[in-house]
């Protein structure tokens, strides 16, 4: 008898707290800008359910916690009753197929402009330093940013409360938990990184002070919905949105050790590497020390493909691997990995359009071509 093919490390089960995952392929949070007027739409039901497998973990697109959190057009929110109700059928569709669904909760901070803010006001941040204009992913349009307004220390509890309420609302909408977005140069990352945070009060200066606000958010959310329902996404090595740090390894380890005190479910970290047109470029840094230090489930993301995702799990560098662009273009990505099937190419020019079908719900499944 021929021996059976070995099971891919990515397709082995994992115990995620109270959840039993059937595989380790995670849908990464992906901003798609198809939630008109900041309300999730019915076309998201198909989008997420297409990418659901029994026992698979999905993380929603970044979801704004309040009107001041908005940094892009047509992203979803979760601060109103209408938004909560709009999320419910989307979450139900994922659960109907046996998926586990977390909502990523988000505040963009200074990565915004006054045209997106209530009453045309300036965005808020840890600083009043503005972002320089940036060319968008289509290589044509330029994103303009309004210089932010520095939050006073006595305003910070209000933002913490907005994160707490967003987490409560996510659970009301049916989500299994939340992922706090502390990465990619958005508000919490702006406080953590010394390239941006120029404060001299208790929320600036030392590493402990810079991490104070993000950790207060984690505590408030964990107290509200239970630490077993909470994940955090971090990108200590990234300088996305002009938000870098002079000692990213120290920052990452400090945050990991601090998160351990709250007993949260998982930490989702972005690899210190980048993708170029010539292929993958590895950075000299590593998440391994942080993986070893963290007590919960450790998720990695950052340009992974089938082979290096398998290696990350096999070498115990990660428990789970999040896939973005490849999951976007291949709704049945775990099945394609299992079969060694070819992958659909993603269409970058459709990532952030508002069309409810093109580049959103029109990528073919394997069964479509059988």
Catalytic annotation, residues: 186
- Identify the CA nearest to 113 among candidates 137, 149, 77, 85: 149
The enclosing H or E element of 187 equals helix 187-192
What does the alpha-carbon distance between residue 203 and residue 210 come to, in Å, rounded to a whole number? 5
Dihedrals phi, psi of 125, to nearest 5 degrees: -160, -175
The enclosing H or E element of 172 equals helix 156-172
Which segments within the chain are labelled E, that is strand? Answer: 14-16, 19-21, 25-27, 57-59, 63-64, 100-106, 124-125, 134-135, 142-143, 149-150, 177-182, 230-234, 266-270, 273-276, 279-282, 297-301, 320-323
Taking a C-beta distance cutoff of 8 angstroms, is the pair 61, 74 a contact?
A: no
- List the structure tokens of 15: 């115990």
Q: How many CB atoms lie within 10 A of CB 328?
A: 23
Taking a C-beta distance cutoff of 8 angstroms, is the pair 354, 368 a contact?
A: no
Q: What count of residues does the chain have?
A: 370
Instruction: Work out the end-to-end distance of the chain between its first and last CA atoms, rounded to an integer number of angstroms.
Output: 28
Residue 87 DSSP SS3: helix
Helix (H) and strand (E) counts in the chain: 11, 17
Q: Which residues of 91-109 are buried (b: 16+ CB within 10 A; e: fewer)?
A: bebbbeeebbbbbbbbbbb
């Amino acid at each position: 008898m021929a021996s059976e093919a070995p099971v891919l490390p990515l397709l082995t089960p994992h115990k995620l707290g109270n959840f039993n995952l059937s595989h380790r392929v995670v849908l990464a949070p992906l901003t798609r800008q198809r939630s008109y007027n900041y309300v999730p739409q019915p076309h998201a039901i198909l989008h997420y359910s297409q990418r659901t497998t029994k026992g698979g973990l999905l993380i929603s697109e970044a979801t704004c916690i309040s009107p001041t959190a908005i940094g892009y057009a047509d992203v979803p929110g979760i601060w109103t009753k209408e938004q909560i109700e709009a999320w419910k059928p989307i979450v139900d569709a994922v659960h109907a197929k046996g998926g586990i669904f977390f909502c990523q909760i988000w505040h963009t901070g200074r990565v915004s402009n006054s045209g997106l803010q209530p009453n045309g006001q300036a965005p808020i941040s840890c600083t009043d330093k503005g972002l320089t204009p940036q060319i968008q992913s289509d290589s044509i349009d330029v994103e303009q940013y309004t210089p932010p307004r520095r939050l006073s220390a006595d305003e910070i509890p209000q933002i913490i409360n907005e994160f707490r309420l967003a987490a409560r609302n996510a659970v009301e909408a049916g989500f299994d938990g939340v992922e706090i977005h502390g990465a990619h140069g958005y508000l919490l990352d702006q406080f953590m990184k010394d390239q941006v945070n120029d404060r001299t009060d208790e929320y600036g200066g030392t590493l402990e002070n810079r991490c104070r606000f993000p950790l207060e958010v984690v505590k408030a959310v964990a107290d509200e919905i239970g630490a077993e329902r909470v994940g955090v996404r971090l990108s200590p090595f990234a300088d996305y949105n002009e938000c870098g740090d002079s000692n990213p390894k120290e920052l990452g380890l400090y945050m990991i050790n601090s998160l351990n005190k709250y007993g949260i479910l998982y930490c989702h970290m972005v690899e210190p590497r980048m993708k170029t047109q010539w292929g993958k470029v590895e950075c000299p840094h590593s998440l391994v020390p942080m993986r070893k230090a963290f007590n919960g489930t450790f998720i990695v993301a950052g340009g992974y493909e089938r082979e290096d995702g398998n290696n990350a799990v096999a070498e115990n560098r990660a428990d789970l691997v999040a896939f973005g662009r490849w999951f976007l273009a291949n709704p049945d990505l775990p099945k394609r990995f299992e079969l060694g099937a070819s992958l659909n190419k993603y269409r970058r020019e459709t990532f952030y359009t508002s069309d409810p079908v093109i580049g959103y719900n029109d990528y073919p499944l394997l069964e479509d071509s059988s």
